[in-house]
Protein backbone atom coordinates (compact mmCIF):
# COMPACT_ATOMS: atom_id res chain seq x y z
CA UNK A 1 0.00 0.00 0.00
CA UNK A 2 1.34 3.42 -0.96
CA UNK A 3 0.89 6.54 1.15
CA UNK A 4 -1.59 7.87 -1.43
CA UNK A 5 -3.68 4.70 -1.19
CA UNK A 6 -3.60 4.86 2.62
CA UNK A 7 -4.82 8.48 2.64
CA UNK A 8 -7.63 7.74 0.18
CA UNK A 9 -8.74 4.70 2.19
CA UNK A 10 -8.56 6.74 5.41
CA UNK A 11 -10.86 9.35 3.86
CA UNK A 12 -13.21 6.59 2.68
CA UNK A 13 -13.24 5.11 6.19
CA UNK A 14 -14.02 8.45 7.83
CA UNK A 15 -16.70 9.32 5.29
CA UNK A 16 -18.54 6.00 5.46
CA UNK A 17 -18.04 4.81 9.06
CA UNK A 18 -20.89 6.87 10.47
CA UNK A 19 -23.19 7.00 7.47
CA UNK A 20 -25.41 3.88 7.27
CA UNK A 21 -23.70 2.66 4.09
CA UNK A 22 -20.90 0.47 5.54
CA UNK A 23 -17.28 1.57 5.78
CA UNK A 24 -16.04 -2.04 5.51
CA UNK A 25 -17.93 -2.45 2.25
CA UNK A 26 -16.33 0.66 0.78
CA UNK A 27 -12.85 -0.31 1.99
CA UNK A 28 -13.37 -3.55 0.09
CA UNK A 29 -15.12 -2.07 -2.97
CA UNK A 30 -12.91 0.95 -3.68
CA UNK A 31 -9.67 -1.09 -3.94
CA UNK A 32 -11.47 -3.67 -6.11
CA UNK A 33 -12.65 -0.97 -8.52
CA UNK A 34 -9.27 0.73 -8.93
CA UNK A 35 -7.16 -2.43 -8.88
CA UNK A 36 -5.63 -2.09 -5.40
CA UNK A 37 -5.20 -4.95 -2.96
CA UNK A 38 -7.81 -5.55 -0.25
CA UNK A 39 -6.40 -3.72 2.83
CA UNK A 40 -7.84 -6.47 5.05
CA UNK A 41 -9.91 -6.57 8.21
CA UNK A 42 -6.98 -5.64 10.55
CA UNK A 43 -6.40 -2.41 8.59
CA UNK A 44 -10.11 -1.54 8.89
CA UNK A 45 -10.14 -2.20 12.64
CA UNK A 46 -7.02 -0.15 13.37
CA UNK A 47 -8.04 2.81 11.20
CA UNK A 48 -11.33 2.87 13.10
CA UNK A 49 -9.34 4.28 16.01
CA UNK A 50 -9.35 7.53 14.02
CA UNK A 51 -13.13 7.48 13.80
CA UNK A 52 -13.23 6.56 17.49
CA UNK A 53 -11.34 9.79 18.18
CA UNK A 54 -13.95 11.63 16.10
CA UNK A 55 -16.76 10.25 18.29
CA UNK A 56 -14.86 11.19 21.45
CA UNK A 57 -14.33 14.73 20.16
CA UNK A 58 -17.91 15.24 18.96
CA UNK A 59 -19.66 13.73 21.98
CA UNK A 60 -17.13 14.71 24.64
CA UNK A 61 -19.75 16.45 26.81
CA UNK A 62 -22.02 13.39 26.76
CA UNK A 63 -19.08 11.09 27.47
CA UNK A 64 -17.87 13.23 30.40
CA UNK A 65 -21.36 13.38 31.90
CA UNK A 66 -21.89 9.63 31.52
CA UNK A 67 -18.46 8.86 32.99
CA UNK A 68 -18.99 11.17 35.99
CA UNK A 69 -22.43 9.71 36.65
CA UNK A 70 -21.04 6.17 36.37
CA UNK A 71 -18.30 6.87 38.95
CA UNK A 72 -20.69 8.75 41.26
CA UNK A 73 -23.18 5.88 41.08
CA UNK A 74 -20.50 3.38 42.09
CA UNK A 75 -19.38 5.53 45.01
CA UNK A 76 -22.92 5.90 46.29
CA UNK A 77 -23.77 2.26 45.75
CA UNK A 78 -26.57 3.34 43.42
CA UNK A 79 -25.29 2.49 39.93
CA UNK A 80 -28.63 3.19 38.21
CA UNK A 81 -29.59 6.33 40.11
CA UNK A 82 -29.56 8.69 37.10
CA UNK A 83 -30.17 8.24 33.38
CA UNK A 84 -26.51 9.05 32.65
CA UNK A 85 -25.20 6.44 35.10
CA UNK A 86 -27.66 3.89 33.77
CA UNK A 87 -26.59 4.81 30.21
CA UNK A 88 -23.01 3.78 31.01
CA UNK A 89 -24.17 0.33 32.13
CA UNK A 90 -26.53 0.00 29.16
CA UNK A 91 -23.71 0.81 26.72
CA UNK A 92 -21.57 -1.83 28.41
CA UNK A 93 -24.33 -4.44 28.27
CA UNK A 94 -25.15 -3.54 24.67
CA UNK A 95 -21.52 -4.16 23.70
CA UNK A 96 -21.43 -7.76 24.95
CA UNK A 97 -23.16 -9.35 21.91
CA UNK A 98 -20.73 -7.94 19.33
CA UNK A 99 -17.74 -8.98 21.45
CA UNK A 100 -19.01 -12.55 21.83
CA UNK A 101 -19.97 -12.98 18.17
CA UNK A 102 -16.81 -11.17 17.03
CA UNK A 103 -14.55 -13.61 18.86
CA UNK A 104 -16.61 -16.62 17.83
CA UNK A 105 -16.70 -15.78 14.12
CA UNK A 106 -13.31 -14.01 13.91
CA UNK A 107 -11.92 -16.23 11.13
CA UNK A 108 -15.01 -15.94 8.92
CA UNK A 109 -15.19 -12.16 9.40
CA UNK A 110 -11.61 -11.74 8.23
CA UNK A 111 -11.85 -14.16 5.29
CA UNK A 112 -14.98 -15.57 3.62
CA UNK A 113 -17.39 -12.85 4.75
CA UNK A 114 -15.28 -10.24 2.95
CA UNK A 115 -16.48 -11.65 -0.37
CA UNK A 116 -18.19 -9.03 -2.51
CA UNK A 117 -21.14 -11.42 -2.79
CA UNK A 118 -21.67 -11.18 0.97
CA UNK A 119 -21.09 -7.42 0.98
CA UNK A 120 -23.52 -6.66 -1.86
CA UNK A 121 -26.17 -8.91 -0.31
CA UNK A 122 -25.76 -7.24 3.08
CA UNK A 123 -26.07 -3.80 1.49
CA UNK A 124 -29.38 -4.72 -0.12
CA UNK A 125 -30.87 -6.72 2.77
CA UNK A 126 -30.22 -4.00 5.34
CA UNK A 127 -31.69 -1.41 2.98
CA UNK A 128 -34.89 -3.47 2.97
CA UNK A 129 -34.85 -3.62 6.79
CA UNK A 130 -34.35 0.15 6.88
CA UNK A 131 -37.36 0.59 4.58
CA UNK A 132 -39.44 -1.46 7.02
CA UNK A 133 -38.17 0.57 9.98
CA UNK A 134 -39.08 3.85 8.24
CA UNK A 135 -42.54 2.46 7.43
CA UNK A 136 -43.06 1.65 11.10
CA UNK A 137 -41.95 5.16 12.05
CA UNK A 138 -44.55 6.69 9.72
CA UNK A 139 -47.24 4.32 11.00
CA UNK A 140 -46.52 5.29 14.62
CA UNK A 141 -46.54 8.98 13.70
CA UNK A 142 -50.03 8.63 12.17
CA UNK A 143 -51.21 7.11 15.46
CA UNK A 144 -49.76 10.07 17.35
CA UNK A 145 -47.04 8.01 19.07
CA UNK A 146 -44.01 10.20 19.78
CA UNK A 147 -40.51 8.73 19.22
CA UNK A 148 -38.25 8.31 22.24
CA UNK A 149 -35.42 10.64 23.16
CA UNK A 150 -32.02 9.80 24.72
CA UNK A 151 -33.50 10.30 28.18
CA UNK A 152 -36.13 7.66 27.48
CA UNK A 153 -33.81 4.87 26.37
CA UNK A 154 -34.19 1.85 28.66
CA UNK A 155 -32.65 -1.58 29.02
CA UNK A 156 -34.88 -3.11 26.35
CA UNK A 157 -33.81 -0.56 23.75
CA UNK A 158 -30.13 -0.76 24.71
CA UNK A 159 -29.95 -4.56 24.63
CA UNK A 160 -31.88 -4.99 21.38
CA UNK A 161 -29.84 -2.29 19.63
CA UNK A 162 -26.75 -4.00 21.06
CA UNK A 163 -27.77 -7.29 19.46
CA UNK A 164 -28.42 -5.41 16.22
CA UNK A 165 -24.87 -4.03 16.41
CA UNK A 166 -23.48 -7.57 16.26
CA UNK A 167 -24.92 -7.90 12.73
CA UNK A 168 -22.37 -5.24 11.74
CA UNK A 169 -19.73 -7.98 11.91
CA UNK A 170 -20.98 -8.98 8.45
CA UNK A 171 -19.15 -6.66 6.02
CA UNK A 172 -21.60 -4.50 4.10
CA UNK A 173 -24.19 -4.30 6.86
CA UNK A 174 -22.77 -1.12 8.51
CA UNK A 175 -22.43 -0.60 12.25
CA UNK A 176 -24.33 2.69 12.19
CA UNK A 177 -26.80 1.20 9.70
CA UNK A 178 -27.82 -1.77 11.84
CA UNK A 179 -27.89 0.18 15.11
CA UNK A 180 -29.88 3.07 13.65
CA UNK A 181 -32.27 0.54 12.10
CA UNK A 182 -32.56 -1.23 15.44
CA UNK A 183 -33.21 2.10 17.13
CA UNK A 184 -35.97 2.97 14.67
CA UNK A 185 -37.62 -0.41 15.29
CA UNK A 186 -37.54 0.44 19.02
CA UNK A 187 -39.22 3.80 18.30
CA UNK A 188 -36.19 5.99 18.90
CA UNK A 189 -36.19 9.21 16.91
CA UNK A 190 -33.77 9.20 13.97
CA UNK A 191 -31.44 11.66 15.69
CA UNK A 192 -31.58 9.71 18.98
CA UNK A 193 -30.93 6.42 17.16
CA UNK A 194 -27.84 7.94 15.53
CA UNK A 195 -26.51 9.46 18.77
CA UNK A 196 -26.99 6.23 20.70
CA UNK A 197 -25.44 4.31 17.80
CA UNK A 198 -22.25 6.36 18.00
CA UNK A 199 -21.99 6.14 21.80
CA UNK A 200 -22.63 2.39 21.70
CA UNK A 201 -19.81 1.95 19.17
CA UNK A 202 -17.12 3.32 21.50
CA UNK A 203 -16.21 0.18 23.52
CA UNK A 204 -16.39 -2.21 20.54
CA UNK A 205 -14.37 -0.02 18.17
CA UNK A 206 -11.75 0.66 20.85
CA UNK A 207 -11.41 -3.04 21.72
CA UNK A 208 -11.19 -4.12 18.07
CA UNK A 209 -8.57 -1.48 17.26
CA UNK A 210 -6.38 -2.30 20.26
CA UNK A 211 -6.66 -6.03 19.59
CA UNK A 212 -5.58 -5.66 15.96
CA UNK A 213 -2.73 -3.34 16.97
CA UNK A 214 -1.53 -6.02 19.38
CA UNK A 215 -1.87 -8.75 16.74
CA UNK A 216 0.00 -6.81 14.03
CA UNK A 217 2.45 -4.84 16.18
CA UNK A 218 5.56 -6.80 15.15
CA UNK A 219 4.88 -6.39 11.42
CA UNK A 220 4.09 -2.69 11.86
CA UNK A 221 7.34 -2.08 13.74
CA UNK A 222 9.26 -4.01 11.09
CA UNK A 223 8.18 -1.60 8.35
CA UNK A 224 8.35 2.15 8.90
CA UNK A 225 6.50 2.84 5.65
CA UNK A 226 3.61 0.58 6.68
CA UNK A 227 3.41 2.32 10.05
CA UNK A 228 3.40 5.77 8.40
CA UNK A 229 0.65 4.68 6.01
CA UNK A 230 -1.47 3.41 8.89
CA UNK A 231 -0.99 6.60 10.90
CA UNK A 232 -1.89 8.73 7.88
CA UNK A 233 -5.02 6.68 7.16
CA UNK A 234 -6.08 6.87 10.81
CA UNK A 235 -5.53 10.64 10.93
CA UNK A 236 -7.59 11.36 7.83
CA UNK A 237 -10.29 8.93 8.99
CA UNK A 238 -10.62 10.95 12.20
CA UNK A 239 -10.84 14.35 10.50
CA UNK A 240 -13.35 13.26 7.87
CA UNK A 241 -15.23 11.16 10.44
CA UNK A 242 -15.90 14.19 12.63
CA UNK A 243 -17.45 16.02 9.68
CA UNK A 244 -19.46 12.91 8.81
CA UNK A 245 -20.95 12.72 12.32
CA UNK A 246 -21.93 16.40 12.24
CA UNK A 247 -23.57 15.94 8.85
CA UNK A 248 -25.58 12.85 9.79
CA UNK A 249 -26.88 14.23 13.11
CA UNK A 250 -27.99 17.44 11.38
CA UNK A 251 -29.43 15.57 8.38
CA UNK A 252 -31.54 13.15 10.41
CA UNK A 253 -33.20 15.97 12.35
CA UNK A 254 -35.16 16.90 9.23
CA UNK A 255 -34.89 13.95 6.84
CA UNK A 256 -35.58 10.22 6.69
CA UNK A 257 -32.95 7.63 5.79
CA UNK A 258 -34.33 7.28 2.22
CA UNK A 259 -31.16 8.71 0.65
CA UNK A 260 -29.05 5.98 2.24
CA UNK A 261 -31.59 3.28 1.38
CA UNK A 262 -31.45 4.17 -2.32
CA UNK A 263 -27.65 4.36 -2.24
CA UNK A 264 -27.28 0.95 -0.56
CA UNK A 265 -29.57 -0.76 -3.06
CA UNK A 266 -27.90 0.92 -6.05
CA UNK A 267 -24.42 0.04 -4.77
CA UNK A 268 -25.34 -3.56 -3.96
CA UNK A 269 -26.99 -4.15 -7.33
CA UNK A 270 -24.12 -2.35 -9.09
CA UNK A 271 -21.50 -4.59 -7.45
CA UNK A 272 -23.39 -7.74 -8.43
CA UNK A 273 -23.62 -6.40 -11.98
CA UNK A 274 -19.88 -5.70 -12.16
CA UNK A 275 -19.08 -9.17 -10.81
CA UNK A 276 -21.44 -10.80 -13.33
CA UNK A 277 -19.89 -8.79 -16.18
CA UNK A 278 -16.41 -9.81 -15.05
CA UNK A 279 -15.14 -6.29 -14.33
CA UNK A 280 -14.25 -7.10 -10.73
CA UNK A 281 -13.50 -10.31 -8.85
CA UNK A 282 -15.65 -11.23 -5.85
257 neighbors 135 (Cβ within 8 angstroms): no
Contacts of 18 (CB under 8 A, 6+ apart): 51, 54, 176, 198, 241, 244, 245, 248
Round to whole Å and give the CA distance between 9 and 36.
Answer: 11
For 14-45, what is each residue's pLDDT tens digit?
999 899 998 888 988 899 888 888 887 777 77
H or E segment and range at residue 241: helix 224-252
For 226-282, what is each residue's pLDDT tens digit?
788 889 999 999 999 999 999 999 999 999 999 999 999 999 999 999 999 988 888
Round to whole Å and give the CA distance between 245 and 59.
Answer: 10
Average pLDDT across the chain, whole number: 90
| The model's pTM | 0.89
**DSSP secondary-structure letter at 157?**
H
Burial profile 151-162: b = 16 or more Cβ within 10 angstroms, e = fewer = eebeeebbbbbb
Amino acid sequence: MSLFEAIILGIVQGLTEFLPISSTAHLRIVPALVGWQDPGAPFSAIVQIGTLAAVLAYFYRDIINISKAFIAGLRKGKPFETQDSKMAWMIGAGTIPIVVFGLFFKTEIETSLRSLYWISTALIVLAIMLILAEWLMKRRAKKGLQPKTMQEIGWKEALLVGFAQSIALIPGSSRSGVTITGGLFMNLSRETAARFSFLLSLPAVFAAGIYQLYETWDSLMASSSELINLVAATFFAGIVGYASIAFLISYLKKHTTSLFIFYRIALGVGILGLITAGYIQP
